[in-house]
């Protein structure tokens, strides 16, 4: 078999090419796995994950995020590494990946390895190389830190199974929310091939859970679960469609995370939209906010969006938006409402809701106490009472509250053009 | 009634001895106060007592806290006492009183409405957040003999909380973590238990010569951090919010060469 792995490229250039090629993959979390070292190798994992640095775009650097190779036989329109692009190509050897991981990890630069890859020769061939690398890293180098690995769609299920026993987390990218979009932009991929390994990993995790009940020391399969990502803004799907897909992934495929990636136009392909305002970062932000509501706040997509209102309000976040459209349920009495109801109040998060439930056993809470507990009163004050009283006399009326929630010169964080969004008024 | 101030040294040992002595006085706790370090403005109608740490008293206080308030509370108290706040001694003392005699018990740390408990909670959170930050942002460099060395500048005394994490993570490495604000060294010899050295005369850092590979890996990682950023999404404000400037002087990828 002919190799195009060129020996002349220095490790510096290889890392440069293959990190650059991997940067559009969003997932970088190192969470979900909690494991102590066994004293014979190097590494452990922390349940909440650790972010070792932050890049100039504000995204965390937790894992050594690289492609094994950026050679690819596929020609996906949105991807920098597609076959038809003339970009410098490089491939690591398994030993190079292992050494980089170990030496970076030792110096506390990273929390582990994120290994993805372009398709070299065939999905099986690529997956085999990935498995070899992970096997070496775990058994020869005795690495016990975090590993996130991509399952290559179309690869032999045996290879995916093998990788799952070596990695903490696996992911298969859904790429685009609907099958039609996928067909249009990624002609070599199809929905079935993507969902198949996803299902396999889910079944693997479930089977492993049962094994662990019987045999405490049986090997762990994807301890930190699986994740996926969708590109936002390259195709015309509405937020409602995207969130509905995310919800069914959580419910039917038991995914740990769905990532949303604002589309960055790297290829200027005619099939792709031009985005003069830069990537749709605010939209991505709203989708993540809604994603949190699904996972931690017990919301469903149908509560947040409907087919008549298929997109999120860019002015206020999805939770505040839900609250002002359901004012009949407010104000909520802090000292009496149950935990789930507390979670629905804008300005109260999971942590402060838990603290409220515990602290009110000792005494009736006042607004001052809430502030100390960590409630964001400037958002919450329109929706709550303490011992029957509101903080200030306010109207419980949609326009009034929206105006006040957006008035605080609150700059929405992600306007690429340096502008910020503000509620329009008669005088502007 | 006259107020009494127990002056303790700034350490877990000092405050725990102070708590023991305060109980031994058998007076109302509302009139007893624990203070860390010397008083600058002495009050006229108050009595001041100097407390000398005592191993037996410390052990008794630790046992009582663990048994009656629980290990979680004990951990919170230790974290609070590692913080840099001067009111920590008093807050911990009154929290213990609340737990032991005012019905707090094992749930005392949930009573956030109590000002002292609230303060212990916040101080413990400070220490625990900073510990977490250094778990992430601390950087080791390798010497010619293969020893790893990291320098940090912490507000709270985080070394005792960092060492278990790194000892578990790097069991086969010789490493040293140096806190230059507290002048403490956490030392871990390969395959053995870690320990803390204070007031070391000789500067370990000055004797330290980095290995040849070290420079190469520093360059590789710096380049990696620059490459991984997506320029279309540049957001330096967010970066600074997530990674405050005070950490950067110790981090290879931000140090100007």
pLDDT digits (tens, 9 = 90+) for A178-227: 999 999 999 888 899 999 999 999 999 999 999 888 888 888 899 999 99
Give CA–CA dist B139/B222, Å, rounded.
12
User: Is A362 in contact with B173 (Cβ distance < 8 A)?
Assistant: no
User: Is A362 in contact with B113 (Cβ distance < 8 A)?
Assistant: yes
Q: What is the least distance, in Å, from the CA of B138 to any CA of chain A?
A: 7
pLDDT of residue B130: 96
pLDDT of residue A408: 56
Q: Which range has the worst mean pLDDT, A78-82, A202-206, A417-421, B81-85?
A: A417-421
- On whether both B124 and B13 belong to a single domain, the answer is yes
Residues A181, A182, A186, A189, Cα dihedral to 10°: -160
Residue of A nearest to B190 (CA): A39
Residue of B nearest to A144 (CA): B169
- On whether both B120 and B142 belong to a single domain, the answer is no
Chain A residues near residue B116 by CB distance under 8 angstroms? none
Q: Please write the tens of the pLDDT for every residue from A391-409.
A: 888 888 888 888 888 865 5
- On whether both B123 and B182 belong to a single domain, the answer is no
Q: Which of B228, B244, B247 to mutate to test the interface with A (most CBs of A within 10 A)?
A: B228
DSSP structure string for B94-135: HHHHHHHHSS-GGGGGG-TTSHHHHHHHHHHHHHHHHHHHHH
User: Is B232 in contact with A264 (Cβ distance < 8 A)?
Assistant: yes
Q: What is the least distance, in Å, from the CA of B119 to any CA of chain A?
A: 10
Per the CB < 8 A criterion, the answer to whether B160 and B126 are in contact is no
User: Is A58 in contact with B220 (Cβ distance < 8 A)?
Assistant: no
Q: Which element (helix H / strand E) includes B8?
A: strand B3-8
Q: What are phi and psi of A385, to 5 degrees?
A: -130, 150
Taking residues B86-109, what's their average pLDDT?
Answer: 91
The beta-carbon neighbor of B171 closest among A37, A359, A363 is A37
List the beta bridge partners of residue B176: B149, B187
User: Is A365 in contact with B140 (Cβ distance < 8 A)?
Assistant: no
User: Is A106 in contact with B235 (Cβ distance < 8 A)?
Assistant: no
User: Is A363 in contact with B140 (Cβ distance < 8 A)?
Assistant: no
Beta carbon pairs, A and B, within 8 Å = 159
SS3 letters for B92-105?
Answer: HHHHHHHHHHCCCH
Q: What is the least distance, in Å, from the CA of B243 to any CA of chain A?
A: 7
Q: Which two tokens stand for residue A195?
A: 């969902």
pLDDT band, very low/low/confident/very high, at A427 (cuts 50, 70, 90): low
Chain A residues near residue B227 by CB distance under 8 angstroms? 15-16, 19-20, 23
User: Is A56 in contact with B239 (Cβ distance < 8 A)?
Assistant: yes
The beta-carbon neighbor of A58 closest among B110, B231, B238 is B238
Q: What is the least distance, in Å, from the CA of A325 to any CA of chain B?
A: 31
Residue of A nearest to B244 (CA): A54
The beta-carbon neighbor of B227 closest among A19, A43, A104 is A19
List the beta bridge partners of residue A169: A148
- On whether both B122 and B144 belong to a single domain, the answer is no
Per the CB < 8 A criterion, the answer to whether A169 and A224 are in contact is yes
Q: Residue B94's domain spans which residues?
A: 3-128
Q: How many CB atoms neighbour CB A241 within 10 A?
A: 18
In a 13 Å sphere around the CA of A242, the CA atoms on its Cβ side amount to 29
Q: Which two tokens stand for residue A357?
A: 């439930």
Structural domain includes residue B203: yes
Give CA–CA dist B233/A116, Å, rounded.
22
Average of per-residue pLDDT values in chain A: 89
Q: pLDDT at residue B138 above 90?
A: yes
Q: What is the least distance, in Å, from the CA of B203 to any CA of chain A?
A: 21
Q: What is the least distance, in Å, from the CA of A52 to any CA of chain B?
A: 4
DSSP letter (8 states) at residue B257: -
pLDDT of residue B46: 84
pLDDT band, very low/low/confident/very high, at B81 (cuts 50, 70, 90): very high
pLDDT of residue A420: 47
Q: Domain coordinates of chain A in residue numbers?
A: 11-304, 318-407
Q: What is the least distance, in Å, from the CA of B15 to any CA of chain A?
A: 25
Considering the entire predicted model, what is its pTM? 0.90
Q: Which of B107, B123, B171, B253 to mutate to test the interface with A (most CBs of A within 10 A)?
A: B171
Q: What is the least distance, in Å, from the CA of A210 to any CA of chain B?
A: 29
The residues, any chain, with a CB within 8 Å of residue A187's CB and separated by 6 or more, are A75, A76
Structural domain includes residue B227: yes
The CATH number of the domain covering residues in A11-304: 3.20.20.70
Q: pLDDT at residue A228 above 50?
A: yes
Q: What is the least distance, in Å, from the CA of A96 to any CA of chain B?
A: 13
Chain B residues near residue A41 by CB distance under 8 angstroms? 171-172
List the beta bridge partners of residue A143: A42
Give per-residue burial for A354-384: e unless 16+ CB within 10 Å, then b. ebbeebbebeebbbebbebbbbeeebbbbbb
The beta-carbon neighbor of B253 closest among A46, A53, A372 is A53
Structural domain includes residue B256: no
Q: Which of B99, B217, B233, B251 to mutate to test the interface with A (most CBs of A within 10 A)?
A: B233
Chain A residues near residue B239 by CB distance under 8 angstroms? 54-58
Taking residues B174-196, what's their average pLDDT?
Answer: 93
User: Is A39 in contact with B232 (Cβ distance < 8 A)?
Assistant: no
Taking residues A20-39, what's their average pLDDT?
Answer: 88
Chain B residues near residue A56 by CB distance under 8 angstroms? 226, 229, 231, 234-236, 239
pLDDT of residue A396: 83
Q: Which two tokens stand for residue A175?
A: 């790429």
pLDDT band, very low/low/confident/very high, at A42 (cuts 50, 70, 90): very high
User: Is A362 in contact with B150 (Cβ distance < 8 A)?
Assistant: no
> For a pLDDT cut of 90, what percent of chain A falls above it?
71
Q: Which two tokens stand for residue A331?
A: 């104000």
- On whether both B31 and B69 belong to a single domain, the answer is yes
The beta-carbon neighbor of B229 closest among A55, A362, A372 is A55
Q: Which element (helix H / strand E) includes B150?
A: strand B148-152
User: Is A108 in contact with B233 (Cβ distance < 8 A)?
Assistant: no
> For a pLDDT cut of 70, what percent of chain A falls above it?
93
Q: Please write the tens of the pLDDT for every residue from A231-281.
A: 999 999 999 999 999 999 999 999 999 999 999 988 888 888 888 888 999
Structural domain includes residue B147: yes
Q: What is the least distance, in Å, from the CA of B111 to any CA of chain A?
A: 5
Q: Which of A51, A55, A417 to mutate to test the interface with B (most CBs of B within 10 A)?
A: A55
Q: How many CB atoms neighbour CB A349 within 10 A?
A: 19
- On whether both B160 and B230 belong to a single domain, the answer is yes
β-sheet with B195-198: strand ranges across: B141-142, B148-152, B175-179, B184-188, B195-198
The residues, any chain, with a CB within 8 Å of residue B183's CB and separated by 6 or more, are B198, B199, B200
User: Is B221 in contact with A358 (Cβ distance < 8 A)?
Assistant: no
Residue at which a domain ends, from B128, B147, B165: B128
Q: pLDDT at residue A415 above 50?
A: no
User: Is A23 in contact with B150 (Cβ distance < 8 A)?
Assistant: no
Structural domain includes residue B254: no
Coil vs helix vs strand at B139:
coil
SS3 letters for chain A?
Answer: CCCCCCCCCCHHHHHHHHHHCCCCCCCCCCCCCCECCCCCCECCECCCCCCCEECCCCCEECEEEEECECCCCCCCCCCCCCCCCCCCCCECCHHHHHHHHHHHHHCCCCCEEEEECCCCCCHHHHHHHHHHHHHHHHHHCCECCEEEEECCCCCCHHHHHHHHHHCCEEECCCECCCHHHHHHHCCCCCHHHHHHHHHHHHHHHHHHHHHHHHCCCCCCCCCCCEEEEEEECCCCCCHHHHHHHHHHHHHHHCCCEEEEEECCCCCCCCCCCCCCCCCCHHHHHHHHHHHHHHHHCCCCHHHHCCCCCCCCCCCCCHHHHHHHHCHHHCCEECCCCCHHHHCCCCCCCHHHHHHHHHHCCCCCCCHHHHHHHCCCHHHHCCCEEECCECCCCCCCCHHHHHHHHHHCCCCCCCCCCCCCCCCCCCCC
User: Is A362 in contact with B232 (Cβ distance < 8 A)?
Assistant: no
Report ipTM for this prediction.
Answer: 0.92
Residue at which a domain ends, from B109, B128, B147: B128
Give CA–CA dist A70/A89, Å, rounded.
6
Chain A residues near residue B221 by CB distance under 8 angstroms? 104, 107, 109
Per the CB < 8 A criterion, the answer to whether A245 and A174 are in contact is yes
Q: Which two tokens stand for residue B243?
A: 């990674």
Q: Please write the tens of the pLDDT for every residue from B208-243.
A: 788 889 999 999 999 999 999 999 899 999 999 999
Give CA–CA dist A12/A258, Å, rounded.
32
Q: pLDDT at residue A74 above 60?
A: yes
- Give me the number of domains chain B comprises: 2
């Amino acid at each position: 078999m002919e190799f195009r792995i060129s020996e002349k490229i220095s490790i510096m250039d290889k890392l440069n090419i293959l990190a650059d090629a991997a940067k559009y993959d969003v997932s970088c979390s190192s969470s979900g796995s909690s494991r102590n070292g066994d004293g014979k190798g190097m590494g452990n994992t922390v349940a909440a994950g650790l972010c070792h640095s932050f890049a100039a775009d504000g995204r965390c650097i937790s894992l050594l995020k690289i492609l094994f190779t950026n050679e690819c036989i596929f020609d996906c329109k949105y991807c920098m590494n597609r076959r038809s692009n003339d970009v410098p190509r490089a491939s690591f050897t398994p030993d190079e990946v292992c050494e980089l991981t170990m030496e970076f990890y030792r110096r506390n630069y990273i929390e582990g390895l994120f290994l993805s890859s372009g398709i070299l020769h065939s999905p099986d061939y690529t997956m085999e190389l990935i498995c070899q690398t992970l096997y070496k890293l775990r058994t020869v180098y005795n690495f016990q830190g975090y590993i996130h690995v991509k399952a290559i769609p179309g690869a032999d299920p045996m290879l995916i199974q093998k990788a799952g026993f070596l990695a903490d987390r696996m992911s298969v990218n859904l790429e685009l929310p609907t099958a039609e979009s996928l067909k249009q932009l990624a002609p070599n991929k199809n929905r079935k091939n993507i969902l198949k390994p996803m299902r396999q990993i889910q079944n693997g995790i479930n089977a492993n859970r049962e094994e662990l009940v019987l045999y405490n020391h049986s090997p762990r399969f994807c301890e930190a679960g699986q994740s996926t990502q969708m590109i936002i803004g390259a195709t015309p799907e509405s937020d409602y469609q995207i969130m509905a897909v995310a919800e069914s992934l959580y419910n039917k495929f038991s995914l740990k995370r769905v990532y949303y990636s604002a589309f960055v136009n790297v290829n200027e392909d005619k099939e792709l939209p031009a985005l003069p305002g830069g990537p749709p970062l605010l939209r991505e932000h709203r989708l993540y906010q809604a994603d949190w509501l699904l996972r931690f706040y017990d919301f469903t997509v149908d509560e947040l969006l409907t087919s008549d209102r298929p997109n999120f309000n860019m002015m206020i976040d999805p939770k505040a938006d839900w609250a002002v459209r359901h004012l009949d349920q407010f104000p909520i009495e802090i000292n009496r409402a149950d935990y789930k109801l507390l979670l629905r109040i804008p300005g109260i998060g999971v942590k402060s809701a838990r603290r409220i439930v515990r602290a009110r056993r000792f005494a009736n809470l006042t607004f001052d106490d809430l502030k100390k507990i960590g409630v964001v009163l400037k958002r919450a004050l329109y929706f709550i009472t303490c011992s029957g009283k509101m903080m200030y006399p306010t109207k419980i009326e949609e326009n009034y509250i929206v105006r006040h929630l957006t008035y605080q010169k609150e700059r929405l964080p992600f306007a690429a053009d340096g502008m910020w969004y503000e509620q329009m008024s008669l005088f502007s | 009634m006259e107020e009494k101030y127990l002056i303790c040294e700034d350490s877990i040992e000092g405050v725990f001895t102070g708590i023991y002595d305060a109980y031994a006085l058998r007076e109302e706790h509302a009139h007893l106060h624990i203070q860390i370090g010397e008083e600058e403005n002495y009050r006229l109608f108050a009595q001041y007592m100097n407390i000398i740490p005592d191993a037996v008293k410390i052990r008794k206080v630790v046992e009582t806290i663990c048994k009656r308030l629980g290990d979680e509370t004990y951990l919170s108290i230790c974290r609070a006492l590692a913080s840099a706040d001067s009111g920590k001694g008093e807050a911990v003392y009154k929290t213990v009183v609340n737990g032991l005699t005012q019905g707090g018990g094992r749930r005392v740390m949930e009573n956030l409405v109590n000002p002292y408990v609230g303060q212990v909670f916040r101080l413990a959170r400070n220490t625990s957040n900073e510990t977490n930050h250094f778990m992430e942002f601390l950087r080791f460099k390798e010497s010619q003999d293969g020893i790893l060395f990291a320098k940090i500048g912490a507000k709270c005394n985080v070394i005792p909380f960092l060492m278990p994490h790194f000892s578990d993570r790097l069991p086969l490495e010789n490493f040293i973590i140096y806190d230059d604000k507290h002048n403490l060294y956490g030392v871990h010899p390969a395959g053995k238990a870690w320990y803390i050295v204070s007031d070391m005369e000789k500067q370990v850092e000055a004797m330290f010569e980095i290995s040849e590979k070290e420079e190469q890996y520093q360059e590789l990682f710096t380049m990696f951090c620059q490459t991984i950023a997506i320029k279309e999404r540049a957001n330096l404000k967010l970066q600074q919010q997530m990674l405050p400037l005070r950490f950067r002087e110790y981090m290879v990828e931000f140090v100007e060469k």
